Amino acid sequence: MEDIRFTPGLLPPEAEELRGEVRGFIAEHLKGYPGVKRAKTWAGSDPEFSKKMGAQGWIGMTWPKEVGGHGRSALERYVVLEEMLSAGAPVAAHWIADRQSGPLLMRFGTEEQRREIIPAIVRGECYFCIGMSEPNSGSDLASIRTKAERSSNGWVINGQKIWTSKAHMAHYMIALVRTSPQDPSDRHAGMSQFLIDMKKTKGITVRPIRNMAGEQMFNEVFFEDAEVPEEALLGTEGGGWGQVTTELAFERSGPERYISSFQLLFELVRALEDDPDALTKGGSAAGIGRMVAHMQTLRQMSTSIATMLERGESPNLAAAFVKELGVAYEQDMPGKVHDVLGRSPLTGGDGFDQVMGYLTMASRSFSLRGGTREIMRGMIARGLGLR
């Protein structure tokens, strides 16, 4: 059974100093930015904003200076993410590269790939997408069928990915594919990761899937005899499962797992500020207080994990708890706001209605992305020795 601890973690003075700098940057660059756009948080993209963040040194913050990163602490990065997400900054363009693809590339990429790609990510000019899920292979990722076969010049890829966030903007995909047939005695064998140039590789078709909020957030990606060079194989042939698990650990432990509905809380307080009576007669104050206290508890749990990671510990089970509890919180927020205010979501309407309408639709996906609720709970149960 794995140990679960949430040692209280305080952010160091240099991280708190940085907070003021980030707030100043946001006040200047997101002045007048509408609430409904802020509500998209890490799903909203603006290439110009990504470049500005890059110029500030806020992408690749923790990566070593020798490879072009900024050599800062994970806690300083935490503060930047927390401020950007709670302000609803459009960080999606560089998000995946900064969070997981860059670290993966530094670990498994060739010298040339690192030299060419890492500085572009750090400048906020190079975006990645994640090619894991396939039709009928989501939770059961080990059942993927897209395959890469050796050719005289490298590899030829055939198959299909689905739900690929931002594939239509991405310069590269890191894809998990089969390099040998499924082996029933070891389901995790025979898969490899590939670094695929989405702009130059022939035989790739990206087809948008519109979500119910009307956005083109994710896509289907088809590979038809897509030829990639030998060095596109990332890490070891057949070692893809271990590499992908490392990637998912980056994906599941950040503040983005409880802040996604923050704009709605903000709009709720704003909607009630002109009518203080509503706060007492309708019990709204207590409702808002509960939501704020709940978020503060999640934040303390999350910063505790960030400080453990900074000390070199691996609090995987505790991180799974934060993801599961955080996602439940951000997903329940529209329902709770409805209970407090007694007002249904309307599309159109004022700032509050738009944010409420958008998050009522978007929040359905919060417990799916990055691994579903049932899968996370299964992992927690296993960690606790319950299954």
Which CB sits closer to ligand FAD, 206 or 368?
Answer: 368
Of 16-24, 256-264, 351-359, 370-378, which segment contacts ligand FAD by CB under 6 A? 370-378
When the beta carbons of 133 and 297 are compared against ligand FAD, the nearer one is: 133
Taking CB under 6 A as the rule, does residue 218 contact ligand FAD? yes
Task: Give the tokens for residue 174.
Answer: 């890191």
- Residue 295 CB-density burial (10 A; 0-12 exposed, 13-18 middle, 19+ buried): buried
Q: Is there a contact between 253 and 309 (Cβ–Cβ < 8 Å)?
A: yes
Q: Which residues contact 225 (CB under 8 A, 6 or more apart)?
A: 156, 157, 158, 203
Between 9 and 131, whose beta carbon lies closer to ligand FAD?
131
Select the residue interacting with ligand FAD from 30, 87, 130, 148 (CB under 6 A): 130
| 178 Cβ neighbours under 8 A, 6+ residues apart | 144, 145, 146, 147, 148, 190, 191, 192
Cβ neighbour number for residue 117 with a 10 Å cutoff: 23
Q: How many residues bind to ligand FAD according to rule CB under 6 A?
A: 19
C-alpha to C-alpha distance for 132 and 271, rounded to whole angstroms: 41
Q: Which 3 state secondary structure label does DSSP give 174?
A: strand
Query: What's CA 258's distance to the chain center, in Å?
Result: 11
In the complex, the smallest distance separating the C-beta of residue 129 from ligand FAD, rounded to whole angstroms, is 6
Q: Does 328 bind ligand FAD (CB under 6 A)?
A: no
Cβ-contact 266, 292 below 8 angstroms: no
Report the run of H or E that residue 223 belongs to, with start and end: strand 216-229
- Min dist CB 103 to ligand FAD, Å, is 16
Q: Where does this chain touch ligand FAD (CB under 6 A) — which range of 81-89, 130-138, 265-273, 322-330?
A: 130-138
**Residue 46 corresponds to which amino acid?**
D
Q: How far is the CB of 254 from ligand FAD (least distance, A)?
A: 15
Q: Are 318 and 308 in contact (CB under 8 A)?
A: yes
Q: Does residue 132 touch ligand FAD according to CB under 6 A?
A: yes
The 3-state DSSP class for residue 269 equals helix
45 binds ligand FAD (CB under 6 A): no
Is residue 300 near ligand FAD by the rule CB under 6 A? no
Contact pattern from residue 90 through residue 129 relative to ligand FAD, giving x for each residue in contact according to CB under 6 A and a dash for the rest: ---------------------------------------x
Of 161, 150, 320, 325, give the one whose Cα is nearest residue 252. Answer: 320
**Nearest distance, CB of residue 246 and ligand FAD, angstroms:** 15
| Binding of ligand FAD by 361 (CB under 6 A) | no
User: Within positions 136 to 165, which residues make up the interface with ligand FAD, using CB under 6 A?
Assistant: 138-139, 163-165
Stretch near ligand FAD under the rule CB under 6 A, chosen from 76-84, 187-195, 340-348, 372-380: 372-380
- 8 Å CB contact between 272 and 337: no
Nearer to ligand FAD (CB atom), residue 158 or residue 211: 211
Query: CB of 148: closest distance to ligand FAD in angstroms?
Result: 16
Please report, as ranges, the residues that interact with ligand FAD according to CB under 6 A: 129-133, 138-139, 163-165, 218, 365, 368-369, 371-372, 374-375, 378
